[in-house]
C-alpha cells in the first residue's frame, strides 16, 4: 500500500513483537485460545403460540472496551473481544479508536495529520473524511505529538489487522474532556454495522492482588450498569469509557463483560498488579 505520511510503530518490540511473522503468530495464538463465543437465551413466542427459549448467536458488537498493556500481560483479555469480530470481518469497514493520552497533555480529543498508521503487519489507511468531520467540533484538535509515542491506540492495531478485512481507521487520543464531549465524537460514526467503536483502557494500577480484584469488580459493575466512572483510579481510559457509557444510554446499547483479570493472573507477581477487562456493547435484544 503506497501511502505518504505514515505514523510508524512506536512500541513494536516492547509491547508486542516487532517482526511480522512473530507478531502474526502471537495474535493468532491469542485469538485461537478464546473459547467459542457465548450464546444467550431469548424467550420468544413462535407462531405456534408456545413460549420457548432459543439460544441466539452473540450479536455483532457495536463497540468494545479492551486493555492496552503488553501482550504477555493483557493480550489474552483483549483477544476475548477481538475474537467476536471474526464473523463480521466483511461487514466492518471502519474502526473509530479512542484511548487515553499517557505522554502528552491534551485538552479535548486529538487526531493526527498522518494518512496511515503502520505496524509490522502493514499500514492502515486513516479515514481522513471522517477525521475532517470530527475536526468541525470544537473539542477535536490536530496534535501529532499526542499520537507519536502513544501505546494505548497502537497495541490494538495488530489485533484489528488480524481479525478484520480491509478497513480504515479514525484514531483519537483522548485528553481532558467531558463525557458529553467524547460521546458527541463517538456519535459522529453513526449506528451502522460498518463502523466499530473501540475504547482502549486498563483498569486499576499497582494495588495488591485482592484489592485490585475488589476495585476492578466495582468498575466492571459500574460499566455494566452504565454508571459513569468516578475517576482515573478506576480506569486510565475513564474519559473515553464515560463517553461510550453516555452513547450507550442514548442508543440503548447493552454492555456484556467478556473477561476480567489482572497481571497477577497473566504474568508477574501479585504484589502490585494492573487490572484488565474486555467488554462488548451490542444492541439491546431484551
**What is the Cα–Cα distance from 59 to 205, expressed in whole angstroms?**
32
In a domain, residue 68? The reply is: yes
| Residue 146 is assigned to a structural domain of this protein | yes
Q: Is residue 50 part of a domain?
A: no
Q: CA–CA distance from 91 to each of 34, 61, 244 (Å)?
A: 21, 11, 21
Is the residue at 54 inside a domain? no
Structural domain includes residue 150? yes
The whole-angstrom separation of Cα 253 and Cα 272 is: 34
Residue at 43 is within a domain: no
Number of domains into which the chain is organized: 1
**Does 264 fall in a domain?**
yes
**pTM (two decimals):** 0.93
- The DSSP bridge partners found for residue 73 are none
279 within some domain: yes
CATH number for position 175: 3.40.830.10
d(CA 234, CA 240): 13
Length of the chain: 286
Distance between CA atoms of residues 80 and 35, nearest Å: 8
Per-residue pLDDT of the chain (286 residues; tens, 9 = 90+): 445 599 999 999 999 999 999 999 999 999 999 998 765 544 334 444 444 444 557 899 999 999 999 999 999 999 999 999 999 999 999 999 999 999 999 999 999 999 999 999 999 999 999 999 999 999 999 999 999 999 999 999 999 999 999 999 999 999 999 999 999 999 999 778 999 999 999 999 999 999 999 999 999 999 999 999 999 999 999 999 999 999 999 999 999 999 999 999 999 899 999 999 999 999 876 5
**Domain range for residue 233?**
6-34+59-283
Q: Which of 101, 85, 98 is nearest to 280 (CA)?
A: 85
Neighbour count for residue 209 (Cβ, 10 Å): 16
Residue 80 to residue 65: CA distance in whole angstroms: 10
Amino acid at each position: 500500500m503506497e501511502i505518504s505520511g505514515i505514523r510508524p510503530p512506536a512500541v513494536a518490540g516492547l509491547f508486542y513483537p516487532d517482526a511480522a511473522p512473530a507478531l502474526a503468530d502471537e495474535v493468532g495464538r491469542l485469538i485461537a485460545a478464546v473459547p467459542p463465543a457465548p450464546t444467550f437465551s431469548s424467550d420468544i413466542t413462535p407462531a405456534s403460540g408456545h413460549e420457548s427459549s432459543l439460544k441466539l448467536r452473540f450479536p455483532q458488537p457495536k463497540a468494545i472496551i479492551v486493555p492496552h498493556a503488553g501482550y504477555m500481560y493483557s493480550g489474552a483479555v483483549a483477544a476475548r473481544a477481538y475474537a467476536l469480530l471474526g464473523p463480521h470481518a466483511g461487514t466492518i469497514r471502519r474502526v473509530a479508536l479512542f484511548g487515553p493520552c499517557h505522554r502528552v497533555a491534551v485538552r479535548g480529543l486529538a487526531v493526527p495529520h498522518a494518512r496511515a498508521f503502520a505496524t509490522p503487519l502493514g499500514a492502515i489507511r486513516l479515514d481522513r473524511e471522517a477525521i475532517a468531520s470530527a475536526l468541525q467540533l470544537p473539542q477535536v484538535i490536530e496534535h501529532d505529538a499526542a499520537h507519536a509515542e502513544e501505546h494505548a491506540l497502537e497495541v490494538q492495531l495488530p489485533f484489528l489487522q488480524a481479525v478484520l478485512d480491509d478497513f480504515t481507521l479514525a484514531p483519537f487520543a483522548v485528553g481532558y474532556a467531558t463525557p458529553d464531549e467524547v460521546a458527541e465524537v463517538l456519535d459522529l460514526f453513526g449506528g451502522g454495522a460498518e463502523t466499530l467503536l473501540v475504547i482502549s483502557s486498563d483498569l486499576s494500577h499497582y494495588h495488591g492482588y485482592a484489592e485490585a480484584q475488589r476495585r476492578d469488580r466495582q468498575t466492571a459493575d459500574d460499566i455494566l450498569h452504565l454508571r459513569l466512572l468516578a475517576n482515573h483510579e478506576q480506569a486510565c481510559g475513564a474519559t473515553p469509557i464515560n463517553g461510550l457509557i453516555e452513547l450507550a444510554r442514548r442508543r440503548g446499547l447493552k454492555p456484556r463483560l467478556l473477561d476480567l483479570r489482572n497481571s497477577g493472573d497473566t504474568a508477574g507477581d501479585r504484589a502490585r498488579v494492573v487490572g484488565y477487562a474486555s467488554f462488548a456493547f451490542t444492541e439491546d435484544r431484551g
